[in-house]
Amino acid sequence: MNEQRFLSQLEEFSTAFNDTRGNGVTRFSWSHTATLAQSWLEKEFSRMGISLRADGAGNLHAHIKGKTDLPRVIVGSHLDTVQNGAKYDGSFGLVAALETLRSFREEGFIPNRSIEFIAFAEEEGANFGTTCLGSKLITGIIKPNDLKSLCNDGTNAWDMLEKFGLDPANLENEQIVPHTVYAYLEAHVEQERRLFKNNYKLGIVKAISAMRSYRIIYHGESVFAATPLKERRDPVVSFIECHTEIQKAVASGIFPENTRFTVGQICCNPGTPIMVPGECIFTIDIRNLEISNLPAISEKIKEIIVKVAEKNGIGVDIVPLSRSGGVKMSELVQNAYKNATNELGFEYFEMNCGTALDAAPMGMVVPAGLLLVANQVNSETGEKYALPEDLCSGALVYEKTIRQLVSE
């Protein structure tokens, strides 16, 4: 592996394709910026004589033929980011995979097993609120026709894909066939702070938390700000009460250990300073390591949401957005990561991961493994950043692990 080239290209890819320069990284799927990032990958792969193709969801695929027809190894990560996201989110895994494949070509290494590279689309769920959409579509967790019911501002996902020049109807023919895949390997920068807090540079993931997310719409009555408080049906008041009641429930210990809930978006309609809103719309993300815990946790939280609405005399809609995770990583890949880390003289931390990543839906259909690299935290600004030496260590472990598995 050429470490200098890897860091240079990682820096280029992570900063060049960004709609919010100077304020994190924003690169939504099926956007002009995503197209530029795709073109960059196509150029780099073409230099190796390898072509990229897009499937019906916009996932990008490249194939490197091995010596045998044994089940292949898939490597990759996601192309998109959240709004104002972390610098190396997704890009680290993609560029580490690219550098691995380039290094193999340069040294004349021909793998025993074929390798497939995938740059996944819409892992973050920024467009329609459904995380890991690209990987869920090609693993069959979400059916292509379900795209027609995923809507944002009057546009559904199926139509957006078609406008982007993709063919979602063909996704039926682009599903991953589990018995043809030996393993899926992903490398990613950690989005939590466990490695940083425990003073480790590398983490090998044992399991990825299950998650459910919902959009909640409290329907009140939009009236002028002069309306007396007792005469209002203010949905924002219900949101505040709902959030407080859920916090109390979590603090009381009625939920299983390590339950997390997050309100990630909230907006009012109309959003006018002199009007009481008629609607308060917010999202709730619920997570727990055990997928079997999620139904009961979700039902209890939905019960709180509905009770608050009934108490305050307003309407409520609860719209499911996304579900994923609750999957254990493959021991085959975990052990391969451990062997590579030990051979390179690095230490690692065995951990669970609370972040929704493509390794979760992939791990539901094929053996999957996830390697994490620590993010440092600026004590003054709270900004996350990964050290170059840690990124190189992670990329070296990733390359060595891929080499081991494609040689088996």
Q: Above pLDDT 70, what percent of the chain?
A: 98
346 burial type by CB count under 10 A (0-12 exposed, 13-18 middle, 19+ buried): middle
In the chain the domains, ranked by start, together with CATH numbers, are: 3-209+326-406 (3.40.630.10), 211-324 (3.30.70.360)
Tokens of 82: 């959240």
Tokens of 408: 């088996």
- pLDDT score, position 101: 98
The amino acid at residue 204 is: I
The amino acid at residue 150 is: L
Question: Which tens digits make up the pLDDT trace of 108-127?
Answer: 999 999 999 999 999 999 99
Tokens of 134: 């690209």
Using CA atoms, how far residue 45 sits from 13, 215, 268, in Å, is: 14, 40, 46
Q: Is the pLDDT of residue 138 over 70?
A: yes
- pLDDT score, position 186: 98
Angle between helices 331-343 and 388-406 (to 10 degrees): 120
Q: What is the pTM of this model?
A: 0.88
- pLDDT score, position 151: 85
ω into 256 cis (within 30 of 0): no
Among the listed ranges 32-41, 118-127, 143-152, which one has the minimum average pLDDT value? 143-152
The amino acid at residue 250 is: V
- State mean pLDDT over 228-241: 96
State the pLDDT confidence band at 380, using cuts at 50, 70 and 90.
low
Higher-confidence position of 192 and 49: 49
- pLDDT score, position 290: 83
- pLDDT score, position 297: 95
- The residues, any chain, with a CB within 8 Å of residue 119's CB and separated by 6 or more, are 38, 41, 59, 60, 76, 77, 78, 79, 94
Evaluate whether 89 touches 97 at the Cβ level (below 8 Å). no
- pLDDT score, position 40: 98
Task: Provide the pairing of β-strand 60-64 with 315-324.
Answer: unpaired
Evaluate whether 241 touches 323 at the Cβ level (below 8 Å). no
Separation CA 408–CA 172 (nearest Å):
31
Evaluate whether 142 touches 31 at the Cβ level (below 8 Å). no
